[in-house]
């Protein structure tokens, strides 16, 4: 059971190519792609997790994390099972690497949107596992959500195909995209993804004016060198924008990487300084108990103060600093 979708094309020899992500799996009849949830059934592609969610929560938007997108609101957050990456430190591996598709809750797009409205959320987030692999389901929810004034958020590893990115215009509003490393071989060998694809996705999202925030989970020994953090920060500053928020988050031993220390605060502080050094205006430390404030890049006024996922103060007015009237990058209503 599942739902046939249109994001594929026939490529001859009874094969079809899935167009959802940059793996572009070539599937013969009966075959399931790398993600475990898109299958060739009789020459058509079926999304096996359509309408089947593994998790649903009302989360603060700050937990996605998005700090410059409707701060202080909640986002109805859903995920399914499956993933197109195989990160050995995945913090949601129980669902992302699960193959038990039929064990989860059944919901319709209408039900999801109604829950979001009833609970007063301003947005729906497609998160927990990689949402690109269930885009046909997310899209149906998102189209309904748009009609009733809700926004849509993708929390993603950035491996969307260019075809899907174009399809998302006018449907998805904001993204948090992981930049997990700046080494191609690391992405390929350990994560089973691709750095160039992720960077290309980010540039395409930027060109199409989606709101973007980036996250880097700092894993000791893997991506915490000065060079690598500097490369990531530089990419954000030069190819995206110095006003693109960068979330640098602490790793805790998990899944297959359980023989290592968690990220020391010094590494986060070093990454923060590196980001500042290349000119980034908004850098936030996550997964640790710390206050995280947003300051006006022009007059340095403290605009938003956060403790954990809650907001203690927010004086941004109509997207501007109330003291010097500078525009503050983000989506504020």
Binding residues vs ligand SF4 (CB under 6 A): 18, 20-21, 23-25, 33-35, 38, 84, 133
For the chain, strand residue ranges (E) read 3-5, 8-12, 15-18, 26-28, 38-41, 44-47, 52-53, 55-60, 74-79, 105-106, 123-126, 151-156, 174-178, 211-218, 246-250, 283-286, 291-295, 302-307, 310-314
Looking at beta carbons only, is 80 or 263 nearer to ligand SF4? 80
Rounded to a whole number of angstroms, the minimum distance from the CB of residue 99 to ligand SF4 is 13
Radius of gyration of the CA atoms of the chain, in A: 20
Looking at beta carbons only, is 163 or 231 nearer to ligand SF4? 163
Q: Dihedral of the CA atoms 207, 301, 323, 233 (nearest 10)? A: -10
Strands 283-286 and 246-250: parallel
Rounded to a whole number of angstroms, the minimum distance from the CB of residue 78 to ligand SF4 is 17
Instruction: State the Cα angle at 138 between 308 and 330, rounded to 5°.
Output: 45
Looking at beta carbons only, is 24 or 255 nearer to ligand SF4? 24
Looking at beta carbons only, is 38 or 75 nearer to ligand SF4? 38
Rounded to a whole number of angstroms, the minimum distance from the CB of residue 186 to ligand SF4 is 19
Rounded to a whole number of angstroms, the minimum distance from the CB of residue 311 to ligand SF4 is 35
Residue whose beta carbon is closest to ligand SF4: 33
Rounded to a whole number of angstroms, the minimum distance from the CB of residue 95 to ligand SF4 is 16
Looking at beta carbons only, is 11 or 324 nearer to ligand SF4? 11
- CA gap 144, 149 in Å, rounded: 9
């Amino acid at each position: 059971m599942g739902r046939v979708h249109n994001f594929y094309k026939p490529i001859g020899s009874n094969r079809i190519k899935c167009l959802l992500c940059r793996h572009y799996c070539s599937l013969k009849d009966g075959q399931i792609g790398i993600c475990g949830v898109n299958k060739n059934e009789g020459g058509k592609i079926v999304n096996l997790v359509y309408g089947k969610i593994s998790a649903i929560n009302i989360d603060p938007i700050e937990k996605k994390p998005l700090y410059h997108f409707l701060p202080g609101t909640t986002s109805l957050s859903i995920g399914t099972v499956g993933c197109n990456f195989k990160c050995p430190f995945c913090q949601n591996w129980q669902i992302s690497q699960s193959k038990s598709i039929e064990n989860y809750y059944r919901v319709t797009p209408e039900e999801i949107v109604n829950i979001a409205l009833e609970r007063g959320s301003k947005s729906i987030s497609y998160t927990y596992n990689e949402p690109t692999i269930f885009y046909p389901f997310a899209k149906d929810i998102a189209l309904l959500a748009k009609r009733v004034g809700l926004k849509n958020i993708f929390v993603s590893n950035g491996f969307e195909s260019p075809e899907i990115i174009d399809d998302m215009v006018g449907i998805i509003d904001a993204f948090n995209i992981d930049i997990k490393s700046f080494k191609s071989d690391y992405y390929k060998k350990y994560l089973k993804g691709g750095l160039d694809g992720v960077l290309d996705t980010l540039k395409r999202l930027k060109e199409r004016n989606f709101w973007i925030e980036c996250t880097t989970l700092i894993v000791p020994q893997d991506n915490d060198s000065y060079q690598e953090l500097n490369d990531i920060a530089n990419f954000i500053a030069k190819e995206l924008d110095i006003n693109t928020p960068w979330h640098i988050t602490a790793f805790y031993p998990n899944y297959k990487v359980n023989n290592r220390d968690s990220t020391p605060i010094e590494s986060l502080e070093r990454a923060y300084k590196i980001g500042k050094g290349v000119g980034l205006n908004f850098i936030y430390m996550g997964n640790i108990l710390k206050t995280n404030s947003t300051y006006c890049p022009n007059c340095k006024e403290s605009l938003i103060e956060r403790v954990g996922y809650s907001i203690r103060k927010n004086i941004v007015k109509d997207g501007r600093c109330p003291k010097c009237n500078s525009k503050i990058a983000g989506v504020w209503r």
